[in-house]
Amino acid sequence: MSNLIIERPENIFKLFSSLLNIDGVGEKKLKLLEKKIGPYIINLLFYLPIKTINRFQNTSLKDINHGEIITCEVEIIEVNIPNYNFKKKNNISKIVTFGINEEKSIRLDIVYFGQNTQYLKNIYKVGNRILISGKFESYNGLGQVVHPDYVVSNNTSNEIPKIEPVYPLFHGVNQKFIFKIMNQSIKKIPDVTEWLSHAVIEKYKFKNWQTSITKIHNPGNVKDTELNSIYRKRLAFDELVANQISMLLIKNKITKINNNLSPDNNSQIIEKLYKNLPFKLTENQSEVVNEIQKDIQNQKTMVRMLQGDVGSGKTIVALISMLHSISDGSQSVLLVPTEILALQHYNTIKKLLAPMNINVALLLGASRSNHNKKERTEVINSIANGHVKVIVGTHALISKNVTYKNLSLAVIDEQHKFGVKQRYEITQKGTNVNILVMTATPIPRSLALTAYGDMDMSIIKEKPIGRRHIKTYVLPQSKINEVLLSVERAIKNGALIYWVCPMIENSENEDLIAVNERFDFLTSFFPNIDISLVHGKQNQIDKEKAINDFKVGKSKILVATTVIEVGVDIPDATIMVIECAERFGLSQIHQLRGRVGRSNKESSCILLYKSQLSPIAYSRLKILKETDDGFKISENDLILRGPGEVLGSKQSGNIDFKFIDLHLHSDLIPAARDEAVNLLKNENQQYKVNTLLSIFENNDAIKLLKGG
């Protein structure tokens, strides 16, 4: 379906009507909703409860525990409501009731503080029977409910939802409001034409979309609220199909038939490079190089993932591929997530290519660059006119003002730090860009499909020979003095040491405080030892100096934040200390640990944890002690922390799903992919494709397709 135009089919227009059409939503409320939820009914329908409260009626007051929700019928025995007094804000009203249906009467008090008492007097009258629902507390041996959530008369008992969804709140809206507008929105759901095939619906016993989305907000029983209920599963399946459609369409856009001449045979240059290398490629590396070379010389665009554990030697494979891809006028780029890594790759590559007369350039973001404006413009110009053939850089490489003479290969290093958007955008910088994405974190194929779509795979299975097992220690922070002593001893024996400081989630500033404090502490503890400091907020010059001093052994300790997590390659460093290791994902520690053990020298990694680690958290860390195998480690991350840890951050756009729980729904992925392939095959199904792409239009990949 190459000529697909993405447009909203008419029969779902109603889902895209403004929330202004809902009673209770005016301009002011709309502004609030727009910001947190979105402007349309569909956005509200996709605003999911975080939990549910069970309000099925309790048959008796006897078996209720403090703190539980109680829903029961009571008779009002006594009403003590003082006259309302503005000045006395702490008015206490107490209504004494007895449970109905009890053998022996059981008392339950209903209590209000400072409430408008006239209102209370209207609803509570001695002798009436009412239904209340709220949190039960046991107070001085008596049962009570303070400010019940619901008080209704017996014949309107259905006003209390049996299973009440609880939504995430934000300033200006409360549960009752969301509940009210949600119920109206549900009533506005149009009849949509089924887009899933009969076979799929039969296989999973799915209900239609309207029912499924309704049940998320109005569950009939506890089972309906589970992540693997047929309703939730159906919605997740739809989302997976939309995801797979977009992945297939993006791949179509990326892969073209190359009518250019195949790149020159650069074997002479590559021979020369081999001669300059301080090592010989492993057999495994050579195989992978051949696979990639074949792809590059093929007419069809390459979309390939190179997977190899940390330290397996992916960079050299990337460089050789880049050399295979340059020819008269055509260029290769290496896109990396951090400036430190960009600098490092640039320096390595420049050195290796110096004897070959190949121009290499480094491009960082304007504000970060140590080039002055003029120099930076020159770099950009020489990329545009084809003067440089090999380009290394950060996100700056895909910015609007950077154009290429003829980009033929883009290598994306540490791709889990990037999203589908960046991968796509770099391919749009040329008419026929081959892509090679490199990753150290192995992921199961089905998961890879959701984040990257279908790619050919190359795997480096073995590390270069001579590498030794990294000895890993898991120690409480209280042992820091012993660690310091052994660090001192190691430095006397010529070791270089990384010291990584606690990562505090979402708080770069606190990270900085921690890393600065540690730097000060270590500097005063080791007055005669040079120590460097590196973190993300430094400018390029300071960063480069810190890393370089460490690399050449001028400083012996490099205190760092997780900026060194990916890629940094200083083979002489042999000890890695990680503080508050319990805050990291296992794969992340494995990456960090991979900064050492890069030569044939014995290396070690010390994981310090804050005291009182739970047994589970401790056994997690112990996994790292037991294995060096990145695959086993990422499997454990998948089990313990979910796919987010493995696929990359939310910000990278790899996991911005609404209904899909990749852990729970991963078995649906192959079927969803087949469904997507079938839908795209048939021109008559365009409106179905369009419906799916429209209702999930907030997804990053779909936004891209729509040119957003």
Binding site for ligand ADP (CB under 6 A): 279, 281-282, 285, 308, 310-316, 440, 464, 569, 571, 598
Give the shortest CB-459-to-ligand ADP separation in angstroms. 12
Give the shortest CB-388-to-ligand ADP separation in angstroms. 22
312 binds, among Mg ion, ligand ADP, none (CB under 5 to 8 A by kind): ligand ADP
453 binds, among ligand ADP, Mg ion, none (CB under 5 to 8 A by kind): none
Of 312 and 321, which has the nearer Cβ to ligand ADP?
312
330/258 Cα distance (integer angstroms)? 13
292/322 Cα distance (integer angstroms)? 10
Give the shortest CB-445-to-ligand ADP separation in angstroms. 20
Of 393 and 567, which has the nearer Cβ to Mg ion?
567
Of 70 and 440, which has the nearer Cβ to ligand ADP?
440
Residue 412: which of 398, 431, 400, 432 has the closest Cα? 398
Give the shortest CB-440-to-ligand ADP separation in angstroms. 6
Could you tell me the sign of the dihedral formed by the alpha carbons of 532, 534, 538, 541, in that order? positive
Residue 554: which of 491, 460, 599 has the closest Cα? 491
Q: Are 557 and 522 in contact (CB under 8 A)?
A: yes
162 binds, among Mg ion, ligand ADP, none (CB under 5 to 8 A by kind): none
3-state secondary structure of 664: helix
What single string gives the DSSP state of each residue in 100-146?
A: TT-SS--EEEEEEES--HHHHHHH--TT-EEEEEEEEEEETTEEEEE
502 binds, among Mg ion, ligand ADP, none (CB under 5 to 8 A by kind): none
464 binds, among ligand ADP, Mg ion, none (CB under 5 to 8 A by kind): ligand ADP
Give the shortest CB-563-to-ligand ADP separation in angstroms. 16
3-state secondary structure of 491: helix
Map tokens 């709309």 to a residue. 30
Q: How many CB atoms lie within 10 A of CB 503?
A: 21
Q: Are 76 and 95 in contact (CB under 8 A)?
A: yes
Cβ-proximal residues to 228 (8 Å cutoff; 6+ apart), any chain? 664, 665
621/619 Cα distance (integer angstroms)? 5
Contact residues toward Mg ion (CB under 5 A) are 567
285 binds, among ligand ADP, Mg ion, none (CB under 5 to 8 A by kind): ligand ADP
Give the shortest CB-450-to-ligand ADP separation in angstroms. 24
Of 337 and 567, which has the nearer Cβ to Mg ion?
567
Give the shortest CB-604-to-ligand ADP separation in angstroms. 18
573/40 Cα distance (integer angstroms)? 55
Of 312 and 691, which has the nearer Cβ to ligand ADP?
312
Of 337 and 585, which has the nearer Cβ to Mg ion?
337
412/425 Cα distance (integer angstroms)? 12
Residue 434: which of 415, 456, 449 has the closest Cα? 456
Of 100 and 281, which has the nearer Cβ to ligand ADP?
281
108/103 Cα distance (integer angstroms)? 15
Give the shortest CB-32-to-ligand ADP separation in angstroms. 47
Q: How many CB atoms lie within 10 A of CB 391?
A: 26
Give the shortest CB-567-to-Mg ion separation in angstroms. 4
666 binds, among ligand ADP, Mg ion, none (CB under 5 to 8 A by kind): none
Q: Are 424 and 704 in contact (CB under 8 A)?
A: yes
316 binds, among ligand ADP, Mg ion, none (CB under 5 to 8 A by kind): ligand ADP
Q: Which residue is nearest to ligand ADP (CB)?
A: 313
Of 160 and 334, which has the nearer Cβ to Mg ion?
334
336 binds, among ligand ADP, Mg ion, none (CB under 5 to 8 A by kind): none
Q: Which residue is nearest to Mg ion (CB)?
A: 567
Of 99 and 308, which has the nearer Cβ to ligand ADP?
308
